[in-house]
Amino acid sequence: MVFGKNAGVSSENEATGGGAGDAPPEQLALIRESVRRAKTPRAKPRTWRGAALARELPVARVLVDKGVLHLDRYFDYAVPEELDADAQPGVRVRVRFGAGRHRVRDGRREGGGLVDGFLIERRADSDYAGPLAALAQVVSPERVLDEELLGLARSVADRYAGSLADVLQLAVPPRSARAEKRTSADPLPPPPAPEPGSWGRYEQGAAFVAALASGGAPRAVWNALPGPEWAEELARAVTATLSCGRGALIVLPDGRAVARVDAALTALLGEGRHAVLTADAGPEKRYAQWLAVRRGAVRAVIGTRAAMFAPVRDLGLVALWDDGDDSHSEPHAPQPHAREVLLLRAAQDRCAFLLGGWACTVEAAQLVETGWARPLVAAREQVRAAAPLVRTVGDQDLARDEAARAARLPTLAWQAVRDGLRRGPVLVQVPRRGYVPRMACASCRTPARCRQCAGPLEGQEGGSALRCGWCGREEGAWHCPECGAFRLRAQVVGARRTAEELGRAFPAVPVRTSGREHVLDTVPAAPALVVSTPGAEPVAEGGYAAALLLDGWAMLGRPDLRAGEDALRRWLAAAALVRPQSAGGTVVAVAEPTLRPVQALVRWDPVGHALRELSERAELGFPPVSRMAAVAGPAEAVAAFLRAVELPGEAEVLGPVPLPVTAAGRPRRLGAPPPGEHWERALIRVPPGRGAALAGALKAAQAARTARGSDAPVWVRIDPPDIG
């Protein structure tokens, strides 16, 4: 009845100052050592109130749900006799916890407030010699936490310098009593092994599926061919894993991708053979699906990033689609990335691993370069047969194009739209949402900013007054602070303005938009213009006849280490929805053709681009070749933290440097300064193999700060995604 590690265990009374905890530290150390060395058995634990205890294993080791680093350990509680049957390892409990909130009533000391927790194990005795507080309540006899999930959560907490309680908040969904009563635990028989299907298009595709069906654990980085077949291919990989009696887990970037794989799995397996874990399902339905997986009734799980911790029985395959998507990075502490969690699961469960997408990240390329995974790619003939024709329009072409001087789109783009509309829908990808999200002075090109908060001024439909994109204040009498001019020009044109311009140019063609406010899932095969922001592109029945990728400089010009990789990933995601070149599919990218990401798009070679990026990062010592952490906060707090932390000897500190000031009204990212405050950020870099030591040092320093009750905030993030 025991699971989990016993290291770092202390009693609840030690944290709250009760009993022997009032003695000096030296005396406490002597007491503990004498108890440990004693040959006689320890006395049976006592409770503060003298309640009757469980006859066997009367001590419960509990993880309290506090989430602060200096309390990231287990605490001992006594098990009352009436809770003995339900207080089993893995159940949710409530306990009294809290320093400074004890009081004496009728000669007896009472504990602090009630907090939630998980019962980790039952023991015969405790390391603490004084009386123990008793468990207050067993919330539910459902054992939601087992040894495998606890070990995974501890590994994730250690890797990201976070607390175990924070990770378990991400891993175990909130309880629903009705779901616990309704959920069945009857397992379903495994399905028959599927045919490879379209996996035969890849050089090792059929062998990969056969290895899954035979119970093997192949590890592959999959560069998917353009087109809609990727969802069925993932479904066949899951079915092959289930056919040998093992479980499978697929993590996808958004609900639309989940819906496509859900439909493909239902077509292969039928209803009720897999669980879908997404936030859109609602708390009760999501918990019911999670319980079905936990009880072993369902062996296949698909979902968004929350599904990365799904407790699949006898896990045989973990798969991740499009690992470069930002949504795979968890915004809540300790901010793990789904790719890294699945890598930990593959190592812990010795199961198969599949990392797929149309693009290829440098992390995926590194897995292949180190030999940890094998490439799963198609021959160049297959790539050319499946990909559309890609053409580019660069700065020199625009300078020679008379139409491009008077209108936003060059002649080649207009021709592609006109020809494509004769055969079907045309996709237009615009980097920015809104109408005109960026304005500048027409004379000196100085960005137009709000006089109140310095936010960007945005143009509105109908020629109304400018409006600040951060605080919403209207600006009716703007003039340039640099040159005094009053005329404005559009720096970036948004999706709504683009749709308006295209609607005037093609008045007989319907124009649809897809973006943050309203995301389309599919569009019919009839001729239409579909204007979309990156990531919101709907799937067209039969594929798009053509696609325009506008304002490539807006994505390539971001001051970020991943700007080129991310731009290529977004372009490939849009181009993969276009028909093959043999069916007339054409993509026009308005971007400088000499740039490396643009060349990779033209050749449809994301793997080559990722390998070159990886080689350059290796020379410069950037992730993923090295491990890196970011420390952000007020300048004095960051400096004090860097002085206190005991970094590994190989660590290199870069900075600190000032962070941009966040204006009022602008959404704040985790780790960004509060509005109006001046923060600094330092980057800490270590060579390969020293990431665990770096995370441990940062966690220890942060725990010491929280134990002292430091008021100044300091944010620590391992593997920050936005290294500018």
- How do residues 431-479 score in pLDDT, each as one tens digit? 865 444 556 676 666 777 776 666 677 665 555 567 776 666 777 777 7
- How many other CB atoms are found less than 10 A from the CB of residue 107? 5
- Domain endpoint, select from 337, 356, 383: 383
633 and 485 fall within a common domain: no
* Of 22, 23, 119, the residue nearest 76 (C-alpha): 119
Please check whether residues 493 and 513 belong to one and the same domain.
yes
Of the three residues 616, 637, 669, the one that is the final residue of a domain is 616
Per the structure, the count of domains in the chain is 4
> Which structure tokens are listed for 515?
């973006």
pLDDT tens sequence across 71-83: 889 999 999 999 9
CB 79 within 8 A of CB 19: no
The three-state secondary structure class of 419 is: helix
Identify each DSSP E strand in 281-437 by its residue range. 300-303, 315-321, 352-357, 374-376, 389-393, 426-429
Dmax (CA) for the chain in angstroms is 96
421 located within any domain: yes
CATH number of the domain residue 364 falls in: 3.40.50.300
Backbone angles phi, psi at 27, to 5 degrees: -65, -40
Residue 629's DSSP bridge partners are: 684, 718
Mean pLDDT of 634-644: 92
Asked if the structure places residue 1 within a domain, the reply is: no
Residues with Cβ < 8 Å from 620, sequence gap 6 or more? none
**Would you say 163 and 157 are in contact if contact means Cβ atoms under 8 Å apart?**
yes
Give me the pLDDT at residue 397, please. Answer: 63
Tell me how far apart the alpha carbons of residues 98 and 87 are, in angstroms, rounded to a whole number.
22
Per-residue pLDDT band at 599 (split at 50, 70, 90): very high
pLDDT recorded at residue 77: 92
Considering the domain architecture, whether residues 281 and 357 belong to the same structural domain is answered as yes
Of 29-38, 106-115, 669-678, which has the strongest mean pLDDT? 669-678
Residue 670 has pLDDT above 90, yes or no: no
Is there a domain that residue 185 lies in? Answer: no
Check whether 338 has a pLDDT greater than 60. Answer: yes
Query: Do 101 and 205 reside in the same domain of the chain?
Result: no
Q: Give the three-class secondary structure for 426.
A: strand
User: Counting runs of H as helices and runs of E as strands, what totals does the chain give?
Assistant: 22, 32
Please give the Cα distance from 455 to 446 (Å, whole number): 13
pLDDT 10s digits, 87-139: 999 999 999 886 433 333 333 334 458 899 999 999 998 888 778 888 999 99
Assigned domain for 167 exists: no
pLDDT one-digit tens code per residue, 376-395: 999 999 999 999 999 998 76
Looking at the fold, whether 655 and 565 belong to one and the same domain comes out as: no
- Segment 288-333, tens digit of pLDDT: 999 999 999 999 999 999 899 999 999 999 999 999 999 999 999 8
Asked if residue 13 lies in contact with residue 131, where contact means CB atoms within 8 angstroms, the answer is yes
Which pair of tokens denotes residue 159? 């890797």
DSSP letters for 201-232: GSTTHHHHHHHHHTT---EEEEEPPSSTTHHH
Q: Judge whether residue 403 has pLDDT over 70.
A: no
For position 120, what pLDDT does the model report? Answer: 96
- Is residue 539 within 8 A of residue 521, CB to CB? The reply is yes
The tokens describing 703, both together, are: 């725990």
Residue 346's SS3 state is helix
What is residue 556's predicted lDDT score, i.e. its pLDDT? 82
- Tokens representing 184 are 């069945």
Predicted structure pTM score: 0.84
| Nearest-5° Cα angle at 442, 438 to 445 | 65
- Burial grade of 142 (CB within 10 A; 0-12, 13-18, 19 or more): buried
Residues 206 and 281 in one domain: yes
Reduced 3-state DSSP string for 263-317: HHHHHHHCCCCCEEECHHHCHHHHHHHHHHHHCCCCCEEEECHHHHHCCCCCEEE
| 602-638 per-residue burial string, b: 16 or more CB within 10 A, e: under 16 | eebbbbebbbbbbeebeeeebbbbbbbbbbbbbeebb
Phi-psi region of 8 (alpha: psi -120 to 50; beta: other; left: phi over 0): left
Same structural domain, 642 and 601: no
Q: Tell me, yes or no, whether 558 lies in a domain.
A: yes
Peptide bond into 456 cis (omega under 30): no
What is the predicted pLDDT for the residue at 724?
57
More confident residue, 143 or 24: 143
Query: Is residue 675 one of the residues assigned to a domain?
Result: yes
**What's the CA gap between 241 and 235, in Å, rounded?**
10
- pLDDT at position 423 is 94
Statement to judge: residues 494 and 357 lie in one domain: no
| Cβ 641 vs Cβ 631: under 8 Å | yes
Query: Among residues 35, 25, 34, 128, which one has the least CA distance to residue 78?
Result: 128
Find out whether 137 and 82 touch, Cβ atoms under 8 Å. no
Q: Based on the domain organization, do 673 and 574 belong to the same domain?
A: no
Q: What confidence tens digit (pLDDT) does each residue in 571-585 have? A: 999 999 999 999 999
Confidence check: pLDDT of 374 > 60: yes
Confidence (pLDDT) at 106: 34
DSSP secondary-structure letter at 485? -
Most confident range (mean pLDDT) of 103-117, 274-288, 650-664 is: 274-288
Range of the domain at 558: 388-616
What's the mean per-residue pLDDT of the chain? 83
Assess whether 605 and 678 both reside in one domain. Answer: no
As a whole number of angstroms, the distance between CA 247 and CA 318 comes to 9
Measured between its terminal Cα atoms, the distance across the chain in Å is: 49
Question: Does the residue 296 lie in any domain?
Answer: yes
Q: Which residue has the tokens 């496509």?
A: 260
Residue 377: the pLDDT is 96
443-446 contact pairs (CB < 8 A, 24+) = 443/480, 443/483, 443/485, 443/487, 444/480, 444/482, 444/483, 444/485, 445/489, 446/480, 446/481, 446/482, 446/483
**Residue 372 falls within a domain, yes or no?**
yes
Q: Tokens standing for 201?
A: 């298009």
Cβ–Cβ under 8 Å, residues 304 and 316 = no
Can you tell me whether residue 104 is helix, strand or coil? strand
Whole-Å CA distances, 543 to 340, 367, 425, 588:
33, 32, 8, 16
Sheet holding 474-475, edge to edge: 457-458, 466-468, 474-475
The span from the CA of 455 to the CA of 451, in Å, is 8
Kindly state whether residues 273 and 420 are assigned to the same domain.
no
**Residue 277 and residue 340 in one domain:** yes
The sign one gets for the Cα dihedral 301, 305, 311, 315 is positive
DSSP string over 584-637: T-EEEEES-TTSHHHHHHHHT-HHHHHHHHHHHHHHHT-TTTSEEEEEEEEHHH
Cβ proximity of 715 and 69 under 8 Å: no
Q: Are 365 and 610 in contact (CB under 8 A)?
A: yes
Q: Are 596 and 564 a contacting pair, CB within 8 Å?
A: yes
How many whole angstroms separate alpha carbon 244 and alpha carbon 191?
8
Question: Token digits for 187?
Answer: 């397992």
Q: Where a domain ends, among 591, 616, 641?
A: 616
pLDDT band at 250 (very low <50, low <70, confident <90, very high): very high
- What pLDDT does residue 205 have? 95
